[in-house]
Amino acid sequence: MRPRGESVDVWVRRPVLVGAVLAVVLTAALTVLVGVRAIGSDPSRCDRFAADSRARAAVVTGSGPRVVVVGDSWSVGLGLDESARSWPSRLPGAVHVAGFSGSGFGARASSCGAVSFADRAPAALRGGADLVVVEGGLNDYDQPDAAVRSGFRQLMRQLRGYDVVVVGPAAAPSRARAVPRVDALLGRLAGRYDVPYLPTVGLELTYLPDRLHLTQDGHDAFGDYVADRLAALGLV
């Protein structure tokens, strides 16, 4: 029964109006949700990674030929007391680091936006490079092969004309089960593009309690291995 004195027309239109308002509210809520997902689940985390990236990029170690390292949190030195002592500091030459924690070959390896290796390579190479060392793959552990192939292809386009070496992922305990697949895929892709590939799955390294990032000793061992392999290839 409708309220006394209220017309049938008003009584019928009221639920329609309420439904329209609810639709607008739901649409707005979905828009906000999509926006949040687009910038990552934790914007403050991405901001912190960006700050770490800038801080590490500001430190150039060594002297001589310009070596540019494009990499992930291992290059940045996440978890170290002195990030400037991350593994690239063990390489010969004037070493510039363009790292971003959580990034990888795949465009969606990180939730922090356009920070894949291919996305960041142009900025990393503004000063040129005598050698480009690309290190990563651990953050591609959950990415489909197609995404890694696409990112690798885009990266090679960005690096055309440079001497390039790709350093694959080590068997970090927290992601060790996924590493063989990524390592094999990167090895095949490197061969396809005729760039040297340095596998690191066999290295015995020491890790922080998170079982993903290296201790200082682990960084030293990893960096020394890469430096030795670069020397053996006649690239440094």
- Per-residue pLDDT tens digits for 141-152: 999 999 999 999
Residue 11 has pLDDT above 60, yes or no: no
Task: Give the pLDDT of residue 132.
Answer: 98
Q: Where does the pLDDT of residue 236 fall: very low under 50, low under 70, confident under 90, or very high at 90 and above?
A: confident
Strands 94-99 and 131-135: unpaired
Closest by CA to 168, choosing from 199, 133, 195, 141, is 199
Residue 40 has pLDDT above 80, yes or no: no
Instruction: Choose the weakest-confidence range: 21-35, 99-113, 118-132, 179-193.
Output: 21-35
Cβ atoms of residues 213 and 73 within 8 Å? yes
Residue 26 has pLDDT above 60, yes or no: no
The structure's pTM equals 0.82
- What does the alpha-carbon distance between residue 41 and residue 116 come to, in Å, rounded to a whole number? 17
The mean per-residue pLDDT over the stretch 182-188 comes to: 98
Mean of per-residue pLDDT scores for the chain: 87
Chain-centroid distance, C-alpha 39: 14
Task: Give the pLDDT of residue 43.
Answer: 66
Q: pLDDT tens, 52-101?
A: 999 999 999 999 999 999 999 999 999 999 999 999 999 999 999 999 99
Q: Where does the pLDDT of residue 42 fall: very low under 50, low under 70, confident under 90, or very high at 90 and above?
A: low
In a 13 Å sphere around the CA of 88, the CA atoms on its Cβ side amount to 35
The token duo for 37 is 């997902």
Closest by CA to 80, choosing from 110, 104, 101, is 101
Task: Give the pLDDT of residue 23.
Answer: 41
Strands 164-167 and 94-99: unpaired
Task: Give the pLDDT of residue 209.
Answer: 98
Q: pLDDT tens, 202-221?
A: 999 999 999 999 999 999 99
CA distance readout (Å), 126 to 45, 158, 209: 27, 12, 37
Amino acid at 212: L
| pLDDT over 90 percentage in the chain | 81
Q: Which helix (H) or strand (E) holds 94?
A: strand 94-99
Amino acid at 177: R
* Sheet with 66-71: strands ordered across: 94-99, 66-71, 131-135, 164-167, 197-198
Residue 1 has pLDDT above 80, yes or no: no
Residue 35 has pLDDT above 80, yes or no: no
DSSP label at 139?
G
The token duo for 205 is 């390294």
Q: Which helix (H) or strand (E) holds 166?
A: strand 164-167
The mean per-residue pLDDT over the stretch 190-196 comes to: 98
Task: Please provide residue 63's backbone torsions phi and psi, each rounded to the nearest 5 degrees.
Answer: -150, 160
Q: pLDDT tens, 105-132?
A: 999 999 999 999 999 999 999 999 999 9
